[in-house]
Homo-oligomer: A and B are copies of this chain.
């Protein structure tokens, strides 16, 4: 191996260790840490983020990247080695733009913001959260200023989550989605009496939900030797190695949304778990973009977890676990209930169709926040007005409104669109898997997910960040992002359930 490459790889391995340590500090903060630890945790996160940024931008990595060209030219561009150099160049070019002090401060503010959000949401008190949000947004403006002006400031943030995608491209996709889904949702609402979802609201003992979730995700690929599932106020997935995957969910004793959240996070976990072990401790391990990440979580949550074949297999045991709530509900009624199209308050609990409107609302508000056309203190009113406009629902309190998501508390602006992009790509990928596998529905109905999981690993997961998101998607589906399959899928599914055909 080239000496310089070896040196580069060693340095990047340490940066990777620091990044994974940051994730552990974050995971612990969300799942385990007593509240008293918040201030110290923010300092710990800030210090590790500072050092990770320094090590990446200051310690000779730039020099190695300059000297390594001849070696790079000798490599197959698709090799792990060439990819490592190429991706590191791109990451490096972005990282050196950002002063270390800003990086450390953003991390500290994010950690403090998350702790404040946790309390503010519990008390439904936006005013407790406002100063932390203001700080996060102020730092985001400073971050944007580190880069050359883009067509829109939002482009710069979006690129961190969906590299290569522009705000204009997202807007064009969302316009098409909106154009087709608004009439679809209206039509479903006009036939609302076709679906009764009362059965998914009832008494669902949390311990039994936990057991059922485990039986499902163990079929998906969750393995206690390499995974954990814990509770968190906002479900998420993370990992500290391909063999140390942590997912979280939350349960309500009154409904079953925790089950879908767990399947969703398991999908994220499978993506991280499926990266080639050869990419461990390199910047290439893990998902290539959040949109592609969401394509995986939404695939397991919706295309499998809200499908007929899935419930044909699992509904009997669910009904057995909750005989009082579900004893008189047959499989078809349950399938329809978990696919109800009904505007509601909480994004992560929304149905497949209205979900996208939740995302579009946030995408628009984020751009207005950056443009300063909405004052942060007025955000609850803006949120509530738009919820009324897009979804026709009245927001009863901020906990179920503007405070419901963790993202802004952690300074994460520009992330939300990737959820809807993930929806779009999930169906492109699902259709490719179906063509390749043939009897996928029968396999789902038998709760046999091994072939699908291996197909996803082979075609998507193992590549990690080696290729761009566009290149990666093209490898799986043969072309660029395209909302048509997703819209067709939804129109067919909703149309069939609501008798719209």
Say yes or no: B228 contacts A39, CB within 8 Å: no
Cross-chain contact B24 with A28 (CB below 8 angstroms): yes
- A26-64 near B? 1/0 per residue, CB < 8 Å: 001000111111011101101110110001000000000
Main secondary structure of the interface of A (DSSP, over half): helix
| Measured CA separation A44–B17 after assembly (Å) | 5
Q: Which residues of B contact A21 (CB under 8 A)?
A: 21, 25, 44, 47-48
Find out whether the CB atom of B47 lies under 8 angstroms from the CB atom of A243: no
| A240 neighbours in B (Cβ, 8 Å) | 33, 37, 40-41, 44
- Chain B residues near A41 (CB-CB < 8 A): 240-241, 244
Known: A36-B244, A37-B240. 8 other contacts (CB 8 A): A17-B43, A21-B48, A36-B225, A36-B243, A40-B244, A40-B280, A43-B281, A51-B55
What are the residues of chain B within 8 A of A223 when measuring CB–CB?
Answer: 36
Alpha-carbon separation in the docked complex, A214 to B314 (Å)? 38
Interface mask (A231-265 → B, CB under 8 Å = 1, otherwise 0): 00000000011011100000000000000000000
User: Which B residue sits closest to A35, measured CB to CB?
Assistant: B225
**A 276-300 contacts with B by CB, 8 A:** 280-281
A18 on the B face (CB < 8 A)? yes
> Which of A13, A21, A50, A281 has most chain B Cβ within 10 Å?
A21
Chain A interface size, as a band, is 35 or more
| Complexed CA–CA distance, A133 and B367 (Å) | 58
Chain B residues within 8 Å of A17, by CB: 43-44, 46-48
Chain A residues numbered 201-248 whose CB sits less than 8 Å from any CB in chain B = 223-228, 240-241, 243-245
Give the CA-CA distance A228 to B228 in the complex, in Å.
Answer: 18
Report if A443 contacts B (CB, 8 A).
Answer: no
Copies assembled: 2
Other-chain residue from B25, B37, B43, B55 in contact with A226 (beta carbon distance below 8 A): B37
Q: How far is the CA of A245 from the CA of B40 in the complex (A)?
A: 12
29 contacts between A and B (CB under 8 A): A13-B47, A14-B50, A17-B48, A21-B21, A21-B25, A21-B47, A24-B24, A24-B44, A28-B28, A32-B228, A34-B225, A34-B226, A34-B228, A34-B243, A34-B244, A35-B225, A35-B226, A36-B226, A36-B244, A37-B226, A37-B241, A37-B243, A37-B244, A40-B244, A40-B280, A41-B240, A41-B244, A43-B281, A44-B240
Q: How far is the CB of A338 from chain B (nearest CB, A)?
A: 30
How distant is the Cα of A43 from the Cα of B13 in the complex, in angstroms?
9
A32 to B18, CA, bound (A): 19
